[in-house]
Amino acid sequence: MIKNRPPHIFFFMLISAILACNVPSGAVATQPEALPTETIVSPSAAVMDVPVEPTASPTVAVVHTQTPSTSATAGPIFYDVESSGTAPEKRAPYGDSYDINRMERPFLQDMTYVSDLDIVTFSVTQDDVWFYVSVKLIGSDPNNSLGINYGVELDTDHDGFGDYIIWAQPPYTPEWDTANVKIFADKNHNSAGLSSEKSDAPLTTDGYETQIFNGGVGDADPDMAWVRTSSGANATLQFAFKKAWSGTVFMLGVLSDAGLKDVGKLDYVDRFTEEEAGSPVKDKKAYPLKSLFAVDNTCQEAFGFKPQGYEAKLCPRTVPTPGPNQTGCVEPGQYSSQSSCEAAGCAWRQNSGAVILVVYYCTYP
């Protein structure tokens, strides 16, 4: 006689039989693992969810209507003191007259000489549309790794306060280009501090504070100023600028700068006392260079007017009286450059007959 089994036992046996039927032969039944609950996103949805980067605005092409002459040459030459001869001694020979803003500092702070900063000469020529400024350096590479800026200062009312500066930065190319040229103006008359005749340091001013040309981008006249490198005998770098905005009457000087490179701080001699700036001349108490280094500038020459001779920053007109012939200087007339003249023991003098143009010649000391 078969006894009735409890219902729960019968139910347990039934479930076990069902599970056994679904397990492959030889396999061991295990508890199913819980599936992850993350949401699967379809590829099309994923693409739609990725933020799209904004498209960069296309570069605005500058359209030029007037270009300087490719055959522009150097004109009458104006000389600057250069330091190549005394560079091994880590000093400038002379020419750094701090109080009157004459800087001869083509040296780094440790007095390492940088020939691509050292200005030898500049000259100015013109045609119907342009003025051309040619700058000759001791070195031959304006694209020096220091990143040297070169500038042309214009004083249109010849009072010693610069009115405009044409400011170029590398890279420089053999073709005329405006891309790396800017022009700044001093509209509040403080580019020379309080006085154009001396250093007013320590003084804080804003120098050339107003940009009026940005390489042609957005400028009403995209052709105002250009720059290029040159391999000519009297030029390493050339500027061209339009007479239409500069006028034809001004004083002009040039500078090179791998130090502060800030036109808003010009004149630099008004920013630092000479003790703070240091000096490149060994017999000065302030030697060596300190806060103001890697900069060279020239005196300024008059164009379009006859100077009275007392204009601030004007290239000197006084000519020392030649002395008797001294041992070491033989036939000075054979030398045509300052470096060769002085190397021969002769004196590099200014021609007293030159009124507007500064003309030098080699003579006895």
349 and 212 co-located in one domain: no
pLDDT digits (tens), the chain, 365 positions = 444 545 444 444 544 544 444 444 444 444 444 444 444 444 333 334 444 454 544 567 899 999 999 988 778 899 999 999 999 999 999 999 999 999 999 999 999 999 999 999 999 999 999 999 999 999 999 999 999 999 999 999 999 999 999 999 999 999 999 999 999 999 999 999 999 989 999 999 999 999 999 999 999 999 999 999 998 788 999 999 999 999 999 999 999 999 999 999 999 999 999 999 999 999 999 999 999 999 999 999 999 999 988 899 998 864 434 443 334 565 555 556 676 677 667 777 765 444 344 456 666 56
* Residues 224, 361 within the same domain: no
> Is 26 a domain residue?
no
How many domains does one find in the chain?
Answer: 2
Per 3-state DSSP, the chain is made up of helix, strand and coil in percentages (nearest 5) of 15, 25, 60
Token pair of 192 as six digits: 């020379």
Question: What is the pLDDT, as a whole number, of residue 23?
Answer: 44
Specify whether the CB–CB gap between 105 and 91 falls below 8 A: no
pLDDT for residue 19: 46
Judgement on whether residues 182 and 83 belong to the same structural domain of the protein? yes
DSSP state of 354: -
Same domain, 211 and 324: no
Q: Which backbone phi and psi does 130 adopt, to 5 degrees?
A: -120, 150
Residue 221 within a domain = yes
CA separation for the pair 74, 326 (Å, rounded): 34
Structure tokens belonging to residue 54: 């904004």
Asked if 117 and 171 sit in the same domain, the reply is yes
| In a shared domain, residues 201 and 338 | no
- Are both 190 and 336 inside the same structural domain? no
Distance from C-alpha of 64 to C-alpha of 77, rounded to nearest angstrom:
30
- Judge if 238 and 335 occupy the same domain: no
Q: What is the pLDDT of residues 325-361, one digit of tens each?
A: 334 565 555 556 676 677 667 777 765 444 344 456 6
What ranges make up the beta strands (E) of 169-303? 181-185, 210-214, 225-229, 237-242, 250-257, 295-297, 301-303
108/202 same-domain check: yes
Q: Tell whether 219 and 331 lie within a shared domain.
A: no
Residue 20 lies in a domain: no
Q: Which DSSP symbol is given to 15?
A: H
Residue 62, in any domain of the structure? no
* 185 and 167 housed in the same domain: yes
Q: Is residue 25 part of a domain?
A: no
**195 domain-assigned:** yes
Which residue is associated with the tokens 């040297």?
A: 148
- Check whether residue 216 and residue 356 sit in a common domain: no
> Does 67 map to a domain?
no
Phi, psi of 126 (to 5 degrees): -155, 160
Residue 334 has a pLDDT of: 55
| Domain around 276 | 77-313
Beta strands in 8-129 (DSSP E): 77-79, 104-105, 119-126
Structure tokens belonging to residue 44: 């099309």
